[in-house]
């Protein structure tokens, strides 16, 4: 099944493998995609669906060093290199919109941009800056209603730019503690206005962003990634988490989103997502369901056969095996990822992983 073609909305995928979104920090000039990035994605175009690294829809969302954006004409032109290279090889590619929100350092942002989030609480931990190494996160400004409306509009504008840049669709990153999850998660969202204080109010920002993007480019081109029970960036489970996410997913399904991408990072040390919740999310979302986190060919096949997902995403295996699909088909050995080059500029550990002869 893993290697069979699959039609997702209006997009025909060559197989049921997905390259999971992975930040690689190679957008060295002006947070703009470039020819090296086009080579990297084109090398992996035999995935059924490629999802890009996290890409900010706003200057304010560029929390990490050298991550790409998609909010100006230069960035559209940069991404056009990538989508053309992938399409030339018969691949399909969605762009992941990751607004970092409070997971940011001011030094990583361009002039005039601001670190912001649902509240003023600082994200725990540290992050890399090219000028001064590891630094505590910058204290965010709490977003007022006007700033929330502006952020929603930025996602919708970026969705239109994504189509202009040649993407087949967009994925909204509502996982791993970035801006959308900062609103969803009760451990982060301490608001008491109409964007916080109850499950429905915490879901509101995610649903407004999704609806604005659906209005901009159509639901068949909009997916969302979620990570209930994830612990990245000061998130974690909270009272009522499962019920809140089921309600969210019911609404996303009714809105016509093309896919739901559900993440389980227990293979990376996070608490496991309860099996009952996974099943409930799967049955609640009526369109395509993607599962991610810790899969190999055998566990992916088993999940597809059991009906637990329509597509399976692979992260690290695609990072270090450009020809992952061919290797899995043959049962060939896989390369191992080199963590030391995950986020470093240049070709090393990026476009130089070996392919089978």
Ligand X SMILES: Cc1cc2nc3c(=O)[nH]c(=O)nc-3n(C[C@H](O)[C@H](O)[C@H](O)COP(=O)(O)O)c2cc1C
Is-contact 202 244, C-beta < 8 A?
Answer: yes
Query: What is the three-state SS of 250-313?
Result: HHHHHHCCCEEEEECHHHHCCCCCCHHHHHHHHHHCCCEEEEECCCCHHHHHHHHHCCCCCEEE
Cα 339 to Cα 355: distance, rounded to the nearest angstrom? 19
Q: In b/e form, how buried is each residue of 220-254, taking b as 16+ CB within 10 angstroms?
A: bbbbbbbbbbbbbbbbbbbeebbebbbbbbebbee
Task: Establish whether 259 is a catalytic residue.
Answer: no
Residue 54 makes contact with ligand X by CB under 6 A:
yes
Min. distance of Cβ 189 from ligand X in angstroms? 19
Min. distance of Cβ 342 from ligand X in angstroms? 4
Which region, judged by CB under 6 A, interacts with ligand X, from 117-125, 183-191, 203-211, 288-296?
A: 288-296
Residue 293 makes contact with ligand X by CB under 6 A:
yes
Residue 344 makes contact with ligand X by CB under 6 A:
no
The CB-nearest residue to ligand X is 315
Among 81, 165, 260, 292, binds ligand X (CB under 6 A): 292
Which region, judged by CB under 6 A, interacts with ligand X, from 5-13, 79-87, 212-220, 309-317?
A: 309-317
Residue 2 makes contact with ligand X by CB under 6 A:
no
Residue 26 makes contact with ligand X by CB under 6 A:
no
Residues in the interface with ligand X (CB under 6 A) total 23
DSSP for 58-106, written as a single string:
SGGG--STT--B-SSHHHHHHHHHHHHHHHHTT--EEEEE---TTS--G
Is-contact 304 16, C-beta < 8 A?
Answer: yes
Residue 22 makes contact with ligand X by CB under 6 A:
yes
- Helices 199-217 and 241-255: crossing angle, nearest 10°? 20
Q: Under rule CB under 6 A, which residues in 131-190 are in contact with ligand X?
A: 173, 175-176
Q: Under rule CB under 6 A, which residues in 185-244 are in contact with ligand X?
A: 225
Is-contact 273 250, C-beta < 8 A?
Answer: no
Which region, judged by CB under 6 A, interacts with ligand X, from 2-10, 78-86, 157-165, 310-318?
A: 310-318
User: Which is nearer to ligand X, 23 or 288 (by Cβ)?
Assistant: 23
Q: Which of 6, 40, 64, 178 is catalytic?
A: 178
Which region, judged by CB under 6 A, interacts with ligand X, from 68-76, 207-215, 270-278, 314-322?
A: 314-322
Among 94, 205, 232, 314, binds ligand X (CB under 6 A): 314
Is-contact 231 178, C-beta < 8 A?
Answer: no
Paired with 288 in beta bridges are 259
Applying CB under 6 A, the residues found at the interface with ligand X are 20-23, 53-54, 96, 98, 173, 175-176, 225, 263, 267, 292-295, 314-317, 342
Residues forming the active site: 178
């Amino acid at each position: 099944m893993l290697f069979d073609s699959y039609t997702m909305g209006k997009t025909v995928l060559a197989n049921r493998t997905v390259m999971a979104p992975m930040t690689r920090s190679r957008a060295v000039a002006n947070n703009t995609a470039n020819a090296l990035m086009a080579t990297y994605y084109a090398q992996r175009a035999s995935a059924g669906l490629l999802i890009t690294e996290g890409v900010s829809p706003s200057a304010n969302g560029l929390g990490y060093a050298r991550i790409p954006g998609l909010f100006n004409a230069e960035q559209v032109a940069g991404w056009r290199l990538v989508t053309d290279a992938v399409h030339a090889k018969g691949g399909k590619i969605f762009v992941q919109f990751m607004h970092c929100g409070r997971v940011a350092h001011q030094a990583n942002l361009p002039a005039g941009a601001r670190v912001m989030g649902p509240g003023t609480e600082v994200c725990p931990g540290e992050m890399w800056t090219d000028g001064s190494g590891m630094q505590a996160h910058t204290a965010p400004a709490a977003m007022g209603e006007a700033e929330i409306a502006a952020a929603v509009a930025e996602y919708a504008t970026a969705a239109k730019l994504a189509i202009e840049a040649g993407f087949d669709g967009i994925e909204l990153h509502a996982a791993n503690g970035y801006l959308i999850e900062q609103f969803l998660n009760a451990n982060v969202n301490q608001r008491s206005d109409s964007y916080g204080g109850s499950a429905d109010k915490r879901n509101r920002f995610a649903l407004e962003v999704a609806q604005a993007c659906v209005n901009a480019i159509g639901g068949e081109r909009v997916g969302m990634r979620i990570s209930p029970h994830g612990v990245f960036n000061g998130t974690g489970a909270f009272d009522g988490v499962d019920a809140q996410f089921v309600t969210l997913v019911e609404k996303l399904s009714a809105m016509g989103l093309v896919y739901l991408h559900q993440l389980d990072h227990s293979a990376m040390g996070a608490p496991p997502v309860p099996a009952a919740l996974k099943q409930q999310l799967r049955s609640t979302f009526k369109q395509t369901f993607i599962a991610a986190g810790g899969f190999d060919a055998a566990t992916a096949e088993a999940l597809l056969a059991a009906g637990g997902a329509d597509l399976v995403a692979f992260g690290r295996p695609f990072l270090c095996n450009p020809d992952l699909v061919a290797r899995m088909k043959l049962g060939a050995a896989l390369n191992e990822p080199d963590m030391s080059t995950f986020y470093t500029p240049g070709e090393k550990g990026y476009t130089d992983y070996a392919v089978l002869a």
